[in-house]
C-alpha cells in the first residue's frame, strides 16, 4: 500500500514536472529568458512544528519569485527509503539544485552519491551530516544552528530564573530536581541540547539531579503522555524544572501540567509562535531562538544561486564558514520575548 502511495506520489510529481516542462516550451516562444529554475525541497516529515515553519518561510520566499523559480516539495515521511526514492525521482526530472532535510543525518552518503552522479548542488538544512560527509562533495553546503550554543543558552536561561527565584527550590536542598524530554535519539541537536543545558548549569556551580529523562521524539502529544506518567508517579511532586529539547515537547508538558493543576518552569528551544505567546503569558519560562525564517531564507537563496551556477552566497549578506552557515542562538524569556513576536 505504502509502495503504491509512493509510486503515485512520484507519478504525480512527474506529471507536474512534465506539465511545467510544457509550460516552459510555451513561454519560450514568447520570452526565452524567462525559463523557470526548478529546485527541490525535502523535509524529513512535513508534520513537525519546526519544519512546518521552515517550509512555510521557504515557500513564501519562492512565491515571491514565482515567475522565475519553481519548487518541488517532498515529504520523506520519516523514512530513509521513501526519501531516497523520491529524491531519485525528482533528480530524474532535472531539478537544478536541492534543499534537503535528511531523515537520518548519519546516513547521508547514499543521498550525496545520487546528487554527485547528476552533478546537482545541495544545501542540507536542520540535520547536519558529518564533517566527512560535508567534505565529500564540493557542491554540498549546510544551513543550521550551533546545537551546543542552544544548549548553553537554555542552561543560562534556567540559571537566571533559578537564581532570581529561591522559591523554585521546592525541597530547599540547593539542587535543581529536573525532568528532561529529549528529541529523536541520535539527532545532533537533541544530543547537544541535552548535554550542554545541564553542563552549563553545573559549570556555573548549580547542582542538578535528573529525576527522569526520555525521548518524546520532538512531538507534543508524546511529550504530554510522558509528562502525565512522571507527574502521577512517585517523583511527581519532586519536579522543580522541566527541560525540553524543543518547544513542541514543552507545549505538551505544559498541557499535561495544566491537566494536573501544576505550574512548573518549563524550557524549550525553537521560539515557536505558540511558545512565545506562552512565555508572554507567564505559562512557559523560556526558549531559544532557532530562527526557522532565517534558516529558510539562507537555504532558499543559496539553492537558487547554486541552481544558476553562481557562488552560493552571491548577492546576499550570508557568510559561509567552510561550507556551513550557523544562525545565532539567542535565549528568550519574559524580559525579551516582545522583541521576537
Ligand atoms: C528542532 C525541532 C525539530 C527538529 C527536526 C530541531 O532543530 O528544534 O523542533 O523537530 O529540529 O529535525
Ligand atoms: Ca531542589
- Evaluate: CB of 248 within 6 angstroms of ligand 1: yes
Q: Do 238 and 208 touch, CB atoms closer than 8 A?
A: no
Residues 6+ apart with CB under 8 A from 28: 35
pLDDT at 190: 97
284: left (phi over 0), alpha (psi -120 to 50) or beta: beta
The Å distance, Cα 322 to ligand 1 centre, comes to 23
* Separation in Å, CA 263 to CA 239, 256, 260, 281: 10, 10, 9, 13
Q: Which of 49, 51, 142, 216 to mutate to test the pocket of ligand 1 (most atoms within 8 A of CB)?
A: 51
Q: Do 93 and 13 touch, CB atoms closer than 8 A?
A: yes
Spatial separation of the C-alpha atoms in residues 333 and 246, rounded to whole Å = 15
- Evaluate: CB of 269 within 6 angstroms of ligand 1: yes
pLDDT class of 324 with cuts at 50, 70, 90? very high
Return the DSSP state at 337.
G
In the block, residue with C-alpha cell 512557559: 284
Q: Taken in order 224, 81, 117, 306, is the CA torsion positive or negative?
A: negative
Q: Of the bound ligands, which one is closest to the alpha carbon of residue 275?
A: 1
In the block, residue with C-alpha cell 539544485: 97
Q: Of the bound ligands, which one is closest to the alpha carbon of residue 240?
A: 2
Q: Do 278 and 254 touch, CB atoms closer than 8 A?
A: yes
- Evaluate: CB of 194 within 6 angstroms of ligand 1: no
The Å distance, Cα 274 to ligand 2 centre, comes to 29
The Å distance, Cα 242 to ligand 2 centre, comes to 13
Q: Which of 42, 76, 106, 126 to mutate to test the pocket of ligand 1 (most atoms within 8 A of CB)?
A: 126
Q: Which of 189, 269, 289, 290 to mutate to test the pocket of ligand 1 (most atoms within 8 A of CB)?
A: 189
Using a 10 angstrom Cβ sphere, with 0-12 exposed, 13-18 middle and 19 or more buried, the burial of residue 226 is buried
Spatial separation of the C-alpha atoms in residues 136 and 269, rounded to whole Å = 31
Residue range 96-141, pLDDT digits in tens: 999 999 999 998 999 999 999 999 999 999 999 999 999 999 999 9
Residue range 164-216, pLDDT digits in tens: 999 999 999 999 999 999 999 999 999 999 999 999 999 999 999 999 999 99
pLDDT at 122: 98
pLDDT class of 303 with cuts at 50, 70, 90? very high
Residue range 251-282, pLDDT digits in tens: 999 999 999 999 999 999 999 999 999 999 99
pLDDT(8) > 70? no
pLDDT at 6: 40
- Among 194, 198, 159, which Cα is nearest to 285's? 159
pLDDT class of 22 with cuts at 50, 70, 90? very low
The Å distance, Cα 50 to ligand 1 centre, comes to 6
Atom of ligand 1 nearest to the CA of 187: 12
**Mean residue pLDDT across the chain:** 91
pLDDT at 16: 37
pLDDT at 254: 98
Residues 6+ apart with CB under 8 A from 335: none
What is the mean pLDDT of the segment spanning 46-68?
97
Q: Of the bound ligands, which one is closest to the alpha carbon of residue 191?
A: 1
Q: Of the bound ligands, which one is closest to the alpha carbon of residue 271?
A: 1
For the domain with range 37-144+292-327, which CATH number is right: 3.50.50.60, 3.40.50.2300, 3.40.470.10, 3.30.1180.20?
3.40.50.2300
Q: Which residue has the higher pLDDT, 8 or 336?
A: 336
Spatial separation of the C-alpha atoms in residues 327 and 305, rounded to whole Å = 19
Query: What 3-state DSSP class applies to 31?
Result: coil
pLDDT at 35: 82
Equal CATH topology for 37-144+292-327 and 148-290: yes
The Å distance, Cα 99 to ligand 2 centre, comes to 45
pLDDT(27) > 60? no
* Separation in Å, CA 295 to CA 67, 188, 325, 332: 23, 17, 9, 18
- What does pTM read for this prediction? 0.88
Atom of ligand 1 nearest to the CA of 245: 8
- Evaluate: CB of 76 within 6 angstroms of ligand 1: no
- Evaluate: CB of 290 within 6 angstroms of ligand 1: yes
pLDDT at 219: 98
CB atoms closer than 10 angstroms to residue 281:
10
pLDDT at 228: 98
* Side-chain-side CA neighbours of residue 19 (13 Å): 8
Q: Which residue has the higher pLDDT, 174 or 10?
A: 174
For the domain with range 148-290, which CATH number is right: 3.40.50.2020, 1.10.640.10, 3.40.50.2300, 3.30.470.10?
3.40.50.2300
Query: Atom 10 (ligand 1): residue with closest C-alpha?
Result: 218
- Evaluate: CB of 312 within 6 angstroms of ligand 1: no
Q: Where are the domains of the chain?
A: 37-144+292-327, 148-290
Locate 286 and state its grid cell. Answer: 523560556
CB atoms closer than 10 angstroms to residue 165:
11
Percentage of residues in the chain having pLDDT higher than 90: 89
Residue range 214-228, pLDDT digits in tens: 999 999 999 999 999
Q: Nearest 5°: phi and psi at 159?
A: -55, -45
The Å distance, Cα 167 to ligand 2 centre, comes to 10
Amino acid at each position: 500500500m505504502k509502495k503504491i502511495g509512493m509510486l503515485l506520489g512520484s507519478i504525480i510529481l512527474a506529471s507536474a514536472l512534465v506539465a511545467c516542462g510544457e509550460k516552459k516550451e510555451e513561454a519560450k516562444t514568447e520570452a526565452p529568458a524567462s525559463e523557470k529554475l526548478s529546485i527541490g525541497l525535502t523535509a524529513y516529515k512535513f508534520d513537525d512544528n519546526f519544519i512546518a515553519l521552515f517550509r512555510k518561510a521557504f515557500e513564501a520566499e519562492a512565491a515571491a519569485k514565482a515567475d522565475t523559480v519553481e519548487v518541488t516539495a517532498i515529504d520523506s515521511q520519516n523514512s530513509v527509503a521513501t526519501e531516497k526514492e523520491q529524491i531519485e525521482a525528482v533528480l530524474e526530472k532535472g531539478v537544478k539544485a536541492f534543499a534537503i532535510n535528511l531523515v537520518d543525518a548519519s546516513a547521508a552518503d547514499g543521498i550525496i552519491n545520487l546528487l554527485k552522479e547528476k552533478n546537482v548542488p545541495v544545501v542540507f538544512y536542520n540535520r547536519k551530516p558529518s564533517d566527512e560527509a560535508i567534505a565529500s562533495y564540493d557542491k554540498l553546503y549546510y544551513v543550521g544552528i550551533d546545537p551546543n550554543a542552544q544548549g548553553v543558552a537554555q542552561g543560562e536561561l534556567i540559571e537566571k530564573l533559578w537564581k532570581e527565584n529561591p522559591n523554585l527550590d521546592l525541597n530547599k536542598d540547593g539542587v535543581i530536581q529536573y525532568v528532561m524530554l529529549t528529541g529523536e535519539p541520535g539527532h545532533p541537536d537533541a544530543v547537544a541540547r541535552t548535554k550542554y543545558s545541564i553542563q552549563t548549569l553545573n559549570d556555573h556551580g548549580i547542582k542538578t539531579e535528573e529525576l527522569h529523562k526520555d525521548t518524546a521524539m520532538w512531538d507534543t502529544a508524546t511529550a504530554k503522555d510522558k509528562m502525565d506518567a512522571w507527574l502521577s508517579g512517585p517523583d511527581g511532586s519532586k519536579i522543580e524544572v522541566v527541560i525540553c529539547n524543543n518547544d513542541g515537547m514543552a507545549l505538551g508538558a505544559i498541557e499535561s501540567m495544566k491537566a494536573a493543576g501544576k505550574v512548573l518552569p518549563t524550557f524549550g528551544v525553537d521560539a515557536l509562535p505558540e511558545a512565545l505567546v506562552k512565555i508572554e503569558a507567564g505559562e512557559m519560562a523560556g526558549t531559544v531562538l532557532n530562527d526557522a525564517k532565517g534558516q529558510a531564507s539562507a537555504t532558499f537563496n543559496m539553492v537558487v544561486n547554486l541552481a544558476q551556477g553562481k557562488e552560493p552566497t552571491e548577492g546576499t549578506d550570508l557568510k559561509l564558514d567552510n561550507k556551513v552557515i550557523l544562525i545565532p542562538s539567542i535565549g528568550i524569556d519574559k524580559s525579551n520575548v516582545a522583541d521576537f513576536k
